Structure 1
Amino acid sequence: MSSDVKGSPGATGLAERARTQPDLGPAGGFDGSSPRRRGGELLADAGSRFALIGVLVLLWVVFSVVNPAAFATVSNLQTILSVQATTGLLALAVVVPLVAGHFDLSTGFQFGLAQSLCALLVIRQQWNPLLALGFVLVVGVVIGVVNGQLITRLRLPSFTTTLGTGMVVLGLTEWLTRNQVITGPAPAWFLDLGRMRVAGIPLPFLYLAIVAIVLFVLLEYTVWGRRAYAIGANVVAARLSGISADRQVRQSFVITGVLCGLAGCISMMSLGGSSPVIGLGSLLPAFAAAFLGATCIRPGRYNVAGTIVAVYVIGVGITGLQQLGAEIYIQDLFNGAALLIALIISTVARRRRVAG
């Protein structure tokens, strides 16, 4: 069946109804519960949706009270917004295939390659920065195509496949850079694109905001997004409804490659150089934010808004603790704890839905 069939009552229609309609109970209507009970359920629903935002506000207030001289400043806010923007882009890159039911463990390594390749071309090879940016994005597309083809054509599991391609990408990065940090002079206007502020807002955060808005619209308000969620929910039903699941999955991995390339270039512009091993520490924060974000705004579903909130919850927590003198390992502890908490919450919620 064609993937362009309109009006299909299958998985696409079901995904749309699930997205737009509230849960009305087994009978699909009024269940006889008292107004007080319904009010309590609405309050509980609002709490589950926006609890993470409350955590973000609470963390900011606590650290501002405990350490006002360092934390409660405009410059610190600007730094957090800028530094976490790269993690936010990587987290969104992780979310796209997750929505379609697949993992991409190569994202951190793609990010490292993009950063190093951008620095190599601009600093050492003296390429026009815009040409270098375009080349890096094309490389991201190629990696996404490779991942998508291996998974959909050969039916390989995405978890181990992308881990394997990620290690290949890491090796390629170390070969290109001779496993060395790349620094040196670069056009000032290019570096300013990663360092300047507009009305006090860092440009990297604005890039993240633009990407997040585009991706939010794509996933929540387009046929492509509804199909992606349908595939992630039940790929067999999605195929029976006429959705080309394989094509959708391949497109998801291409989008991930582009976002990783963009994140690497923005990071290079901000830092003025690159490190060949930066990708090793980038994967866990991205997945932690993606999973934690699935407990917020749209609980039980990977979503853009929740992911962004989770990125800054983790970023604010780590920054506040480090400014209080915490050791460098606190970052890994915080990211790991966030991932575990997200998994526990999602597992408990799923069991309650099944039991109910």
Structure 2
Amino acid sequence: MNPTARSGLGKALWANSLFLMLIAVVAIFSILLPQSYFSLANAQMITSTNAVLALLALAAVLPLISGQFDMSIGFTLALAQSLCAGLIIHHGVPPLAAGAAVVAAGMLIGLVNGLLVARGGLNAFITTLATGIVVQGIAQLYTGGSSLFGQMPGFFLSLGRDRMLGVPLPLVYVMVVAALMWAALRYTDWGRRCHAIGGNAKAARLIGIPVERITVQVFVAAGALAALAGVLSTSILGSANPNVGLNYLLPAFAAVFLGAAPAGPGRFNAWGTVIAVYALAAGISGLQQFGAAFYVEQFFNGGALLLAVALARWMAVRAAAATR
């Protein structure tokens, strides 16, 4: 094989490395655990239970593309979960109305974040971490710090538990959201402006891009997606826990950074994020079925985040060397 073909093959393998990793993980554990792992029921379980994490990871993508962090999304999910369950169980609000109200609350949180960062000039990481802690306090105040349980309409529960042609509905929602995000970022002026702001906000401002306005919009969209993830979680579980924010936050960012690694430094994207979520989930599920301790998930996600950061650094060094 000539060097050019070899180089092209290497680039193709690297560009699709996450998908190949997912296939490899599934293949290895299917061979080792043919009775339990290699089954439709296991695949449905993995795709369904990790759909909430996938939606939250997609919520993190938009601010990162625009050069910002939103650390409040995990806490927004927890508040959304609590509000949704509370409105339905304790106040008798119809599920669709409760879901709409909760998503509106998530958008309000995103609006506050966006105004503080874009208009106030505050550091996004610290600001959204602070607002996230406040949001967690609100969730604990609303629930008394306890989980919420109670009777929910079957229609609402079916939205998170049913299947369409054998495919869990939560996975369908994730694919629809990822497709819409991919199309918006790739084919619309708004998406191109988000990328431009993330690349160089000062240059984007000089060519007339409304940086502050789009930054606010990005945070509002992130808040809406985080709240939607909370609603989906309530529909799947039929309950709520106001303290789950951190449990989702770190795995979500691990998936986002790992999903960006094959595309290059800072190339955050929807499809890479979704594949990374399920590659990590497939590996964790296999290890747990082998009898690994409960904390293996923390090691796995932390290791994935370190790997993603190292790969991003390596890609940056290679890119810099190639331009010399």
Equivalent in the alignment of 1:77: 43
Task: Find the aligned partners of 2:55 and 2:76 in 1 and give their Cα distance.
Answer: 12
The percentage of counterpart residues that share the same residue type is: 44
Q: Deviations over 1:194-231 (max 9, x none)?
A: 10001000111111111011001001111111111111
* 2:264 aligns with one of 265, 280, 299: 299
Contact 2:264 2:316 in 1 (8 A): no
Contact 1:48 1:299 in 2 (8 A): no
The letter for the 2-side match of 1:276 is: P
The letter for the 2-side match of 1:257 is: G
Say whether 1:122 aligns with 2:88.
Answer: yes
**Matched positions, count:** 321
Equivalent in the alignment of 1:317: 283
Contact 2:52 2:233 in 1 (8 A): yes
Task: Find the aligned partners of 1:261 and 1:58 in 2 and give their Cα distance.
Answer: 33
Deviation, 1:355, is: 1.7
Contact 2:234 2:240 in 1 (8 A): yes
Q: Please list, as runs of the form range in 1=range in 2, the aligned pairs for 1:1-356 lying within 5 A after superposition.
A: 36-296=2-262, 298-300=263-265, 301-356=267-322
Deviation, 1:188, is: 0.7
Runs of 4 or more, structure 1, over 2 Å off, are 35-38
Task: Find the aligned partners of 1:60 and 1:186 in 2 and give their Cα distance.
Answer: 35
Contact 2:69 2:125 in 1 (8 A): yes
Say which SS state the counterpart of residue 151 (structure 2) adopts. coil
Structure 1: runs of 5+ lacking an equivalent: 1-34
The letter for the 2-side match of 1:299 is: G
Say which SS state the counterpart of residue 68 (structure 1) adopts. coil
Task: Find the aligned partners of 2:28 and 2:6 in 1 and give their Cα distance.
Answer: 29
Task: Find the aligned partners of 1:352 and 1:190 in 2 and give their Cα distance.
Answer: 50
Say which SS state the counterpart of residue 105 (structure 1) adopts. coil
Task: Find the aligned partners of 1:38 and 1:67 in 2 and give their Cα distance.
Answer: 40
Contact 1:288 1:339 in 2 (8 A): yes
Contact 1:49 1:299 in 2 (8 A): no
The letter for the 2-side match of 1:335 is: N
Structure 2: runs of 5+ lacking an equivalent: none
Larger radius of gyration: 1
Task: Find the aligned partners of 1:235 and 1:38 in 2 and give their Cα distance.
Answer: 36
Say which SS state the counterpart of residue 318 (structure 1) adopts. helix
Contact 1:48 1:295 in 2 (8 A): no
Contact 1:85 1:205 in 2 (8 A): yes
Say which SS state the counterpart of residue 102 (structure 1) adopts. coil
Contact 1:218 1:224 in 2 (8 A): yes
CA-atom RMSD in angstroms = 1.0
Task: Find the aligned partners of 2:249 and 2:69 in 1 and give their Cα distance.
Answer: 12
Q: Deviations over 1:130-159 (max 9, x none)?
A: 110110011011000000000011100000
Task: Find the aligned partners of 2:320 and 2:246 in 1 and give their Cα distance.
Answer: 37
- TM-score (normalised: structure 2): 0.97
Q: Deviations over 1:233-282 (max 9, x none)?
A: 11111111110111111110000011011100010000000111111211
Task: Find the aligned partners of 2:152 and 2:10 in 1 and give their Cα distance.
Answer: 53
The letter for the 1-side match of 2:264 is: P
Say which SS state the counterpart of residue 295 (structure 1) adopts. helix
